[in-house]
Amino acid sequence: DQQVKQNSPSLSVQEGRISILNCDYTNSMFDYFLWYKKYPAEGPTFLISISSIKDKNEDGRFTVFLNKSAKHLSLHIVPSQPGDSAVYFCAADTNTGNQFYFGTGTSLTVIP
């Protein structure tokens, strides 16, 4: 029962262009969403989060958008850089905080 889904296993983007990573969820009880970046053989690194009371949060080159009615969130990276090449996971949390539900990840490749 995959409650958080990332339907694109991979994405390639030219350096300097926008990367858009998408995530869908099914559980309406989710009220906090996060994006993590992961390099091989390392732990996930927190990127950005958003509460369900907001529809946008921005931090430098990273912006997360939340569409609660569609149960959809996206991560925008502008401009994309080769160092952004990694696997990106979205995650969701309920107010009980018992676990983060992770998507299966999207492997982003930024081409120089």
Partner 1 sequence: NAGVMQNPRHLVRRRGQEARLRCSPMKGHSHVYWYRQLPEEGLKFMVYLQKENIIDESGMPKERFSAEFPKEGPSILRIQQVVRGDSAAYFCASRGQLNTEAFFGQGTRLTVV
Q: What's the distance, CA 51 to chain centroid?
A: 13
Least Å from the CB of residue 10 to partner 1 = 13
Binding site for partner 1 (CB under 8 A): 31-32, 34, 36, 41-46, 49, 51, 89, 93, 95-105
Q: What are phi and psi of 36, to 5 degrees?
A: -125, 150
Residue whose CB is less far from partner 1, 69 or 98: 98
Least Å from the CB of residue 83 to partner 1 = 19
Residue whose CB is less far from partner 1, 25 or 101: 101
SS3 91: strand
Which one, of 25, 23, 7, lies nearest residue 90 by Cα?
23
